[in-house]
């Protein structure tokens, strides 16, 4: 959760999975967090009182605690957003329309001009391509315009005390307090999204502690203020940490051959560019497929939607947020900023996204029908997609693994 929240680009569950940088994957419990929203303010103060000794134990000083926690109260807006974020789902085409709009591409090109020298220096140091940094910046905060103004400590106190993912948010709260203790930012300036992600590229506090850098050398790792220098370099450090391969694409749009075996699609099946080419897979814009090592065919909108060959860098971006739609948006926005064209494949725009209840029902029915959907958490991941493929194969329809209403309706 938290990805793109400030931009109104919430993909709901689809994007809620990864959470802000390095967040935990969603849990079944998270789905039920929405059922316990009425947390009386008194309970939050009691929670803070009980938390203080744990924080002291973890090495946070009394002075830091007093400065950071005085006056902190429950944020009903945060509770409400946490409750609602699992409810909404957007189709990938609706998401991409907004995430990679012409305006966002143009603003990215402007930012490339304005910050070109800085981006070259960051690229030289971290071996991370500039367009990906711009794209993440563009998606996370509209290039710094919308960095979020929710006090991070209050947001994390609210989430730690009122949701079943409390343990995760308490760890992030401790990380936030540690940042304050180290003096990188004043308590009042530590702001971000409702879910605790901060600054230009929406780092969670724990990611900040482990990976943020002071690139301008002023002695502070400042991802919050107007100047994006440290935030962009920190994002580069993050992607480098997860193995970014400079000069390689995240993926490319492809055209599948007539009679393609859809069981070969999916992130778990890898082949080299030469092998895919031999199977008739072609780059939509022409030319050779990128030679990026183990690559997979991805059909994020099912057999009727655009198809992509995804490279190892795709999985690096997944560490920022694992939703396919987010990763494709980042990669594609980066390509567009460099002058690349739009996605040429069509999307099945007549289909609507499944609701949370429908996704859970789909997983239940797949499991009952003997296809292991990996539980019924409402999150359509690789296991559920594989179960859908199995079911589709068993009834003789194209096994594209897409969680459509049609599949749900056909399940007994």
Binding site for Ca ion (CB under 5 A): 214, 216, 218, 220, 222, 230
The answer to whether 289 and 273 are in contact (CB under 8 A) is yes
Report, in Å, the least distance between residue 220 CB and Ca ion.
5
Report, in Å, the least distance between residue 10 CB and Ca ion.
30
Please name the residue that has the structure tokens 């068993």.
394
Report, in Å, the least distance between residue 214 CB and Ca ion.
4
The torsion defined by the Cα of 240, 245, 248 and 254, in degrees rounded to 10, comes to -90
Q: Looking at the DSSP assignment, which residues form a beta bridge with residue 12? A: 89
The answer to whether 62 and 177 are in contact (CB under 8 A) is no
Report, in Å, the least distance between residue 216 CB and Ca ion.
4
Nearest residue (CB) to Ca ion, 212 versus 388: 212
Q: How many CB atoms lie within 10 A of CB 218?
A: 11
- From the list 263, 272, 256, 348, the residue with the least C-alpha distance to 312 is 272
Report, in Å, the least distance between residue 137 CB and Ca ion.
17
Nearest residue (CB) to Ca ion, 13 versus 224: 224
Report, in Å, the least distance between residue 184 CB and Ca ion.
8
Element containing residue 130 per DSSP (H, E): helix 130-141
What letters, b where the CB count within 10 A reaches 16 and e where it falls short, cover 18-43? Answer: bbbbbbeebeeebbebbeeeebeeee
Nearest residue (CB) to Ca ion, 119 versus 303: 119
Nearest residue (CB) to Ca ion, 214 versus 267: 214
The answer to whether 289 and 348 are in contact (CB under 8 A) is no
Nearest residue (CB) to Ca ion, 218 versus 291: 218
Q: Is 11 left (phi over 0), alpha (psi -120 to 50) or beta?
A: alpha
Q: Which residue is nearest to Ca ion (CB)?
A: 214
Nearest residue (CB) to Ca ion, 79 versus 212: 212
Report, in Å, the least distance between residue 230 CB and Ca ion.
4
- The C-alpha atoms of residue 310 and residue 304 are separated, in whole angstroms, by 18
Nearest residue (CB) to Ca ion, 85 versus 229: 229
């Amino acid at each position: 959760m938290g990805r793109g929240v400030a931009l109104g680009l919430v993909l709901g569950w689809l994007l809620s999975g990864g959470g802000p940088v390095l967040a935990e994957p969603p849990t079944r419990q998270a789905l039920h967090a929405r059922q316990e929203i009425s947390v009386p303010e008194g309970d939050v103060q009691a929670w803070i009182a009980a938390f203080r000794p744990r924080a002291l134990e973890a090495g946070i000083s009394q002075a830091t605690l007093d400065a950071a926690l005085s006056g902190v109260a429950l944020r009903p807006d945060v509770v409400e957003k946490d409750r609602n974020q699992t409810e909404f789902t957007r189709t990938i085409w609706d998401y991409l329309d907004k995430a990679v709009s012409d305006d966002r591409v143009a603003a990215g090109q402007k930012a490339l001009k304005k910050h070109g020298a800085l981006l070259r220096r960051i690229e030289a140091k971290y071996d991370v391509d500039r367009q990906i940094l711009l794209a993440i910046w563009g998606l996370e905060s509209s290039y710094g315009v919308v960095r979020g103004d929710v006090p991070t400590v209050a947001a994390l106190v609210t989430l730690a005390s009122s949701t079943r993912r409390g343990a995760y948010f308490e760890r992030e709260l401790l990380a936030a307090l540690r940042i304050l203790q180290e003096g990188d930012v004043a308590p009042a300036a530590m702001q971000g999204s409702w879910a605790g992600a901060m600054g230009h590229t929406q780092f969670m506090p724990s990611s900040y502690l482990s990976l943020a850098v002071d690139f301008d050398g002023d002695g502070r790792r400042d991802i919050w203020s107007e100047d994006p220098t440290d935030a962009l370099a920190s994002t580069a450090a993050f992607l480098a940490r997860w193995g970014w391969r400079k000069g390689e694409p995240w993926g490319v749009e492809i055209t599948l051959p007539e009679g393609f075996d859809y069981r070969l699609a999916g992130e778990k099946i890898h082949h080299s560019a030469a092998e895919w080419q031999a199977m008739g897979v072609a780059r939509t814009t022409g030319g050779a497929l990128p030679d990026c090592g183990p690559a997979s065919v991805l059909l994020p909108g099912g057999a009727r939607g655009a198809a992509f060959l995804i490279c190892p860098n795709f999985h690096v971006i997944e560490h920022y947020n694992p939703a396919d739609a987010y990763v494709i948006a980042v990669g594609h926005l980066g390509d567009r900023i460099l002058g690349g064209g739009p996605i040429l494949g069509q999307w099945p725009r007549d289909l609507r996204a499944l609701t949370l209840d429908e996704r859970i029902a789909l997983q239940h029915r797949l499991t009952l029908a003997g296809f292991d959907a990996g539980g019924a958490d409402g999150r359509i991941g690789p296991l559920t997609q594989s179960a859908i493929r199995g079911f589709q194969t068993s009834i003789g329809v194209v096994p594209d693994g897409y969680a459509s209403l049609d599949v749900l309706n056909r399940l007994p």
